[in-house]
Chains A and B, each alone.
Chain A
Amino acid sequence: MTVLPRRVLAATLLRSFAIQGSWNYRTLIGCGFAFALLPVLRTIYNGRPDEYQAAVQRHAAVFNSHPYLAPMALGAVSVLESSESPEVVERFKSAVRGSLGSLGDRLIWAGFRPLCVLLALSALMLGASWFFVTGGFLVLYNVGHVATRVWALRFGLRHGKRLGEQLRTVPVERVQHVMQSVGAFLLGTCLVLLLAGRPFTQETSLPWTLAGIVAAAIGMSFGARCRMPVVLAISAAALISLAVGVLA
């Protein structure tokens, strides 16, 4: 088995930040996966150009994963590529791509990211400066972001083919539960501050506050399905207001 130098792994990690650069509906992040894996493949197949070419072509095929957890697959494939047959590597990639996608979606897109956003919005509504709100959001989010990518690559390198079974030992449900609880808490805090007029004004009229409470309850009941009707309603209100103004 080829021992990969640290600089090669660092290059792969760095390239993983661009893994979705050629995202498309046909191969998803397949081309990006091959692009990120190139330093590893170049090292493993050094002096064997035909095998190198074949490996690049294999890895450019369809693949999908959450971008932040893709280093996990990259790490595991780096280990497998020098010790297993191409068929085993292909089967491994097919087996993990679904779980890496759904895990990242649940923990990052529907968990960590909205949580950081709500924290930043709370700070804004409490009167924090623009620099603190944006800087704090970027630092907090990216500490988690980069740490996740580094952890994912190490996890993949450490467990290789046993990645799937080892993933089951990660306390995903507990982490998700904590993030959801904190998220709901921050949502409640933001809602009260928003209904009190923050960050636009120091006071709002009672009818609008009551309307806001009813609207929030409707939103909680219907979830994301409300988005388009709300967008259309506020756009219609503004357009009617414009038409009245133009005609007046």
Chain B
Amino acid sequence: GLDATSFPQAMFSRPLIAATLAGWAFGRPGAGLLLGALVEIFSLVILPFGAARYPESGTAAAAAAAAYTATEHTGPPEPLLLLALVFALAWEQVAGASVIFTRRLNERLVPYGTSTRNFSARQVAQRHLLAMAIDFVRGGWAVVLGALIGVVLLRVFEGSLQASPGLSIGLILTATATMLGCALPLFGGFRQRWLSLGLGLLCGTLLLVLK
């Protein structure tokens, strides 16, 4: 949570990393990375421009990965992966709302307008550090609470999910393929980048054949 906006923005908060770390904490970094990669694909098009409000996918991915790797599945893992992905996509909305709440809280903390006159340099530094501490606690709670809820939900519903492994993978594949396609406008769109995209498709096909 803290890394996403406050400090140091080194991308530990990206779903790819956060979920792997959560998986690693439960002894299954590979499984965490797999879920993190899926959430990451969904997050590619989320851009923190200006004062945009967006779901917080990093904390959600960490919570879902912790729940996913801590849940022992009785059947094939694919339906559970689908369930964990859906949980992450829901929890990122909750985590995103907590970010907005913290930013509203910061409005009361920081000097503004005529109140600026009452703030010394020490107070500016103290308020800034306090805001970071609040964000740290918020991020921690978003992960821990999400992981607890996720564990309960995944354990309760794991046996009830009627999707076969093939159907689960098919649903995940279709959804993530759409989201990867969605990211093309980031790079200029099809009309401007059709050649680069085509070369990439060719390269991917060659890699598949060679492997």
* A237→B171 contact, CB < 8 A: yes
* A53→B120 contact, CB < 8 A: yes
Bound state CA distance, A133 and B16, in angstroms?
Answer: 9
A245 within 8 A of B: yes
* A117→B49 contact, CB < 8 A: no
Contacts known (A188-B198, A208-B170); A22 close to B12, Cβ less than 8 A: no
Residues of B with C-beta under 8 A to A220:
181-182, 184-185, 189-190
The binding surface of chain B is classed by DSSP as: helix
* A235→B89 contact, CB < 8 A: yes
Residues of B with C-beta under 8 A to A44:
none
| Residue of B90, B121, B177, B199 touching A56 (CB-CB under 8 A) | B121
A183 within 8 A of B: yes
Residues of B with C-beta under 8 A to A68:
9
| Residue of B5, B125, B177, B196 touching A215 (CB-CB under 8 A) | B177
User: When A and B form their complex, what is the total count of cross-chain residue pairs whose Cβ atoms lie within 8 Å?
Assistant: 344
B198 (CB) vs chain A CBs: closest residue: A188
* A117→B8 contact, CB < 8 A: no
* A234→B33 contact, CB < 8 A: no
Bound state CA distance, A199 and B193, in angstroms?
Answer: 26
* A181→B196 contact, CB < 8 A: yes
* A200→B78 contact, CB < 8 A: yes
- Could you tell me the distance in whole angstroms from the C-beta of B74 to the nearest C-beta in chain A? 13
| Residue of A22, A26, A200, A224 touching B131 (CB-CB under 8 A) | A22
Contacts known (A17-B9, A241-B161); A196 close to B14, Cβ less than 8 A: no
Bitwise, B161-187 to A at CB < 8 A (1) or not (0) is 111001101111111111111111111
Residues of B with C-beta under 8 A to A138:
10-12, 17
Interface centre among B162, B180, B188 (most CB of A within 10 A): B180
Bound state CA distance, A240 and B46, in angstroms?
Answer: 27
- Could you tell me the distance in whole angstroms from the C-beta of A199 to the nearest C-beta in chain B? 6
Bound state CA distance, A113 and B47, in angstroms?
Answer: 10
| Residue of A17, A41, A180, A239 touching B188 (CB-CB under 8 A) | A180
A selection of 6 A-B contacts at a CB cut-off of 8 Å is: A117-B44, A188-B196, A212-B173, A216-B177, A219-B182, A231-B89
A 1-39 contacts with B by CB, 8 A: 17-18, 20-28, 30-32, 34-35, 38
A246 within 8 A of B: yes
B68 within 8 A of A: no
* A224→B182 contact, CB < 8 A: yes
Residues of A with C-beta under 8 A to B6:
18, 20-21, 23
| Residue of A22, A105, A117, A208 touching B128 (CB-CB under 8 A) | A22
What residues make up the interface of B, taking CB atoms closer than 8 Å to A? 5-12, 14, 16-17, 20, 24, 29-30, 32-34, 37, 40-42, 44-51, 78-79, 81-83, 85-86, 89-90, 103-104, 106-107, 109-112, 116-117, 119-121, 124-125, 127-129, 131-132, 135, 157, 159-163, 166-167, 169-190, 192-193, 196-205, 207-208, 211
Bitwise, A206-248 to B at CB < 8 A (1) or not (0) is 0111011101111111111011001101110111011011101
A169 within 8 A of B: no
19 more contacts with CB within 8 A, not counting A180-B187, A223-B189, A248-B162, are: A17-B9, A18-B7, A18-B128, A21-B132, A28-B51, A30-B110, A31-B124, A56-B121, A105-B49, A105-B50, A118-B183, A181-B196, A184-B187, A194-B176, A208-B174, A219-B178, A235-B90, A237-B163, A238-B163
A-B pairs with lowest CB-CB distance, top 7: A188-B200, A219-B181, A192-B204, A245-B160, A24-B106, A22-B131, A184-B193
* B173→A241 contact, CB < 8 A: no
Residues of B with C-beta under 8 A to A24:
103-104, 106-107, 109-110
* B175→A188 contact, CB < 8 A: no
Binds B, one of A71-79, A83-91, A120-128, A155-163: A120-128
A201 within 8 A of B: yes
Contacts known (A53-B120, A124-B33); A194 close to B86, Cβ less than 8 A: no
